[in-house]
Amino acid sequence: MQTMFTDEVKAIHERIAEKIGACQYQVWFEGATQIALNDDGLQVTAANPFVSNWIEGHFHQALSESALEVCGRKMPLRFRIDAGCAKPQVKPLPSAKPTGIERLKTSQRRVPAAKGRDGRALPLKLTLDTLVVGSKNQLAFNAAQAVISQDQSPFNPLFVHGGYGVGKTHLLQGICNEIFQRKLGCRWMYLSAEDFTNQYVIALKTHKLDVFRNRFRNLDILAIDDIHFLANKNAMQ
């Protein structure tokens, strides 16, 4: 089976983006999905089964129509999984949440502030520029880019779910740092779900729920890390 990487593939990508919209294309196809023409038709390779199933279920028609318009004939669609199609992009940084002895060592030394592209100190340590992007977090990374680049976020709320060490905290902090740099005057807050809960309990005990509500309702972006902390806490939810 001979695979052809030609201008036709680029044209198919462009047609797909036109049909499903730039935002949807950015999330589901950029980095996480590869398209190739071969003897068997149009081959769509995704980094994991979730992305593959979603594309097949939601964008099958757009793929078929794009291939037909570019190639001039109907092309069979083939879907396959290859975790290697999403390549790591940058070197990793130490985890934002060290444990055990590492946590103790970190607390005893001053962590240098992250620097933005304009040289300004950033409010949070981790940035999207240093996030290691691979098959397990490519989709979340694309969604984060869409949130940052769109005036009206297509994901509201954006819920990031995944196993330990795939970059959830890194992604949230990176979004906040990008917002800080790109959107001057944007009101945002980053905190853990535990901190959020503690603030609520204090407001409840001191009869200052109105102050608590105003603090969070007047934000443009609220980033809550470790949201699973609220599981089974019906009153907080």
pLDDT at 113 over 70: no
Assign 90 a pLDDT band (cuts: 50, 70, 90): very low
Domain ranges of the chain: 3-84, 87-185, 187-237
In this prediction, residue 185 carries a pLDDT of: 82
Assign 65 a pLDDT band (cuts: 50, 70, 90): very high
Least confident segment among 115-119, 155-159, 181-185, 215-219:
115-119
Q: DSSP class of residue 159?
A: -
pLDDT for 119 beyond 60: no
Gyration radius from the chain CA atoms: 21
Q: Evaluate whether 196 touches 224 at the Cβ level (below 8 Å).
A: yes
Most confident of 10-14, 145-149, 153-157: 10-14
Q: Which of 110-119, 132-141, 191-200 has the lowest mean pLDDT?
A: 110-119
Mean pLDDT, the chain, as a whole number?
78
Q: For residues 71-84, give the mean pLDDT.
A: 87
Q: What is residue 129's predicted lDDT score, i.e. its pLDDT?
A: 86
How far apart are the C-alpha atoms of 119 and 85, rounded to whole Å? 33
Are 146 and 152 a contacting pair, CB within 8 Å? no
Q: Is the pLDDT of residue 110 over 70?
A: no
Residue 52 binned pLDDT confidence (cut-offs 50, 70, 90)? confident
CA-based nearest residue to 169, from 120, 115, 126: 126
| The pLDDT value given to residue 130 | 86
Q: Give whole-number Cα distances, 30 to 47, 68, 143, in Å.
A: 11, 21, 10
Reply yes or no on domain 3-84 having CATH 1.10.510.10: no
pTM: 0.61
Q: Reply yes or no on whether the pLDDT at 120 is more than 70.
A: no
Cβ neighbour number for residue 33 with a 10 Å cutoff: 24
More confident residue, 106 or 125: 125
Mean pLDDT computed over 14-30:
86
pLDDT band with cut points at 50, 70 and 90 for residue 98: very low
* Residue 237 near residue 230, CB atoms below 8 Å: yes
